[in-house]
């Protein structure tokens, strides 16, 4: 499709707005007023199941011809531009798209990696498979022995005829309990140096031998999992990219991940969380602080100079965040910045989100730490505070982002390493604790 064939953004936005008004759930819509509920009831499925709801919402968007706005038409997408994506997100304001958070990783990280490295068959099958709402994907990267040193994975894949047999363990898998497929990094050559002996596989989560154990977090949620692979067999054609060159694939997956987390992905469709107030500008936790003003009023602090300063700081962070993403993403698309510059976004976004949580906590005061049972607002802020550090760990820790920026963007000397040139089997490492599964 040439750029002149692409639908003008104004026409697209009008078409999208009409579709959204007729087919998507308004925030707060319940029962028969909610198109997702209606669809699930008509299909004889449980309308209370949040995974089925997310999949039904995605299916409605696909059926309407709005799924995968920036994905190629050949694989079920719409072949449009990031400007169309921004118009779609604007048109969605006031509608409950929160379920699509379950597809965030799939859309923003896994999909672009399959587009880049997948065979034609893999692209046809898997891109369409998630655009239709059928499959949610997860990432099997981190291991109990460590997450930062991804090239040091101990999970192994051994070839047996037309199959690979995978053994080992992965951990901290977001959405591990709801995933249908996982992109899994495993060691395929123990005699090569660590970066040259790993490969990436597309693994059905419900494969025999793959046990998924939910982990409970400090905020009470169980969205994280540890997986144990015991002789998990997958067909040989589930390898993605070149054998033993999984480092290239995994590195690109992480670039897409940091872009997505930092708000610079052209593929991640829909805000990850709805604004708390549907009329509010912005998206999710970094949205403009109208709700902070409201909070300050409710706590009787609206005239307090310190509180006003904190609200202004949150507002500034939200503004910078909303402008940094598109700016850095554009610079990367034009080649002005190299792909690892996505780490700028990730670093800023996670630091700013922590600060935003601290500010909410400070303005919210005591009820944010000890809330009444029916005070859902304070509860949500208090639990958010408990989880605030997560953003500085996921997708590579803050220290790792700083290493990437210094080495791969600014060209400073690389961190010394003694384990990159020798066969991996000679490298000292922890052992995989597959025998002590939590019960
Ligand atoms: C909310 C959340 C979601 C996640 N989702 C997933 C997921 O879906 N899939 C998945 O596979 N993993 C996931 N993770 C795991 C995450 O990728 C790892 O926690 C992360 O890579 C760090 O690994 P680690 O916890 O093993 O810490 P380690 O790698 O053991 O690091 C420990 C500390 O040492 C520091 N450090 C390590 N190496 C260096 C270095 N070279 N220079 C300077 N400092 C260093 C780190 O910054 C850290 O402070 C998630 C984590 C979180 C918090």
Q: Give the predicted TM-score (pTM) of the model.
A: 0.90
CA of 418 to the centre of ligand 1 (A): 21
Q: Whose CA is nearest to atom 45 of ligand 1?
A: 399
420-424 long-range CB contacts below 8 Å, 24 or more apart?
Answer: 420/193, 420/194, 420/195, 421/193, 422/193, 423/190, 423/191, 423/192, 423/193, 424/187, 424/189, 424/190, 424/191, 424/192, 424/193, 424/194, 424/197
Closest CA to 109 of 263, 265, 322, 326: 265
pLDDT for residue 358: 94
CA of 312 to the centre of ligand 1 (A): 32
Tokens of 139: 């990432």
pLDDT for residue 437: 52
Residue 104 CB less than 6 A away from ligand 1? no
Across the 439 residues of the chain, what is the mean pLDDT of every consecutive 10-residue run? 78 97 93 93 95 97 96 97 91 91 94 98 97 97 93 97 97 95 98 97 98 87 91 98 98 90 77 43 46 93 97 93 88 92 92 93 94 90 88 92 95 90 89 55
Residue 389 CB less than 6 A away from ligand 1? no
Instruction: Characterize the bridge pairing of strands 137-140 and 163-174.
Output: unpaired
Top CATH class, 275-396: mainly alpha
CA of 226 to the centre of ligand 1 (A): 14
| Atom in ligand 1 nearest the alpha carbon of residue 142 | 11
CA of 388 to the centre of ligand 1 (A): 15
- Radius of gyration of the chain from its Cα atoms, rounded to whole angstroms: 22
pLDDT for residue 217: 81
Residue 169 CB less than 6 A away from ligand 1? no
CB 148 within 8 A of CB 397: yes
| Atom in ligand 1 nearest the alpha carbon of residue 150 | 21
CA of 395 to the centre of ligand 1 (A): 7
Residue 394 CB less than 6 A away from ligand 1? yes
Residue 141 CB less than 6 A away from ligand 1? yes
CA of 343 to the centre of ligand 1 (A): 14
- CATH number, domain 137-249: 2.40.110.10
| Atom in ligand 1 nearest the alpha carbon of residue 139 | 9
Q: Whose CA is nearest to atom 38 of ligand 1?
A: 148
pLDDT for residue 127: 98
CA of 148 to the centre of ligand 1 (A): 5
Domain boundaries, the chain: 3-95, 137-249, 275-396
CA of 149 to the centre of ligand 1 (A): 8
Identify any residues that bridge with 143 across adjacent strands, giving them in sequence order.
Answer: 146
pLDDT for residue 387: 86
CB 297 within 8 A of CB 311: no
């Amino acid at each position: 499709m040439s750029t002149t064939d692409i639908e003008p953004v104004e026409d697209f936005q009008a078409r999208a707005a009409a579709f959204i008004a007729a087919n998507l759930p308004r925030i707060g819509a319940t029962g028969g007023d909610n198109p997702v509920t209606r669809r699930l009831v008509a299909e004889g499925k449980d309308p209370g199941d949040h995974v089925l709801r997310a999949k039904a919402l995605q299916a409605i968007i696909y059926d309407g011809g709005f799924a995968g706005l920036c994905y190629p038409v050949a694989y079920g997408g719409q072949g449009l531009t990031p400007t169309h994506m921004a118009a779609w997100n604007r048109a969605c304001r006031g509608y409950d798209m929160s379920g699509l958070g379950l597809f965030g990783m799939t859309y923003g990280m896994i999909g672009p990696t399959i587009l880049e490295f997948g065979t034609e068959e893999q692209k046809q099958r898997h891109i369409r498979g998630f655009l239709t709402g059928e499959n949610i994907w997860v990432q099997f990267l981190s291991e109990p022995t460590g997450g930062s040193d991804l090239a040091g994975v101990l999970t192994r894949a051994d070839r047996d005829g037309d199959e690979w047999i995978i053994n080992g363990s992965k951990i901290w898998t977001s959405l591990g309990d709801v995933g249908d497929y996982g992109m899994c990094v495993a060691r395929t050559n123990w005699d090569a140096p660590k970066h040259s002996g790993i490969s990436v596989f597309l693994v059905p989560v419900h494969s025999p031998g793959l046990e998924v154990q939910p982990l409970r977090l400090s905020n009470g949620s169980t969205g994280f999992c540890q997986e144990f692979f015991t002789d998990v067999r997958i067909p040989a054609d589930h390898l993605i990219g070149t054998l033993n060159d999984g480092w290239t694939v995994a590195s690109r997956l992480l670039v897409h991940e940091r872009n997505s987390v930092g708000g610079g992905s052209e593929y991640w469709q829909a805000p990850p969380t709805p604004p708390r107030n549907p009329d509010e500008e912005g998206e999710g936790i970094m949205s403009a602080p109208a709700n902070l003003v409201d909070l300050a009023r409710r706590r009787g602090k609206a005239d307090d100079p310190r509180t006003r300063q904190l609200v202004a700081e949150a507002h500034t962070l939200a503004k910078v965040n909303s402008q940094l993403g598109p700016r850095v993403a554009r610079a990367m698309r034009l080649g002005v910045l190299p792909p690892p510059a996505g780490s700028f976004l990730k670093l800023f976004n996670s630091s700013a989100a922590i600060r935003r949580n601290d500010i909410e906590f400070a303005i919210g005061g005591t009820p944010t730490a000890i809330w009444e049972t029916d005070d859902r607002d304070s509860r949500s802020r208090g639990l958010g505070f408990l989880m605030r550090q997560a953003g500085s760990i996921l997708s590579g820790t803050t220290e790792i982002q700083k290493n990437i920026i210094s080495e791969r963007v600014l060209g400073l000397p690389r961190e010394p390493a003694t384990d990159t040139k020798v066969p991996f089997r000679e490298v000292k490492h922890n052992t995989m604790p597959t025998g002590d599964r939590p019960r």
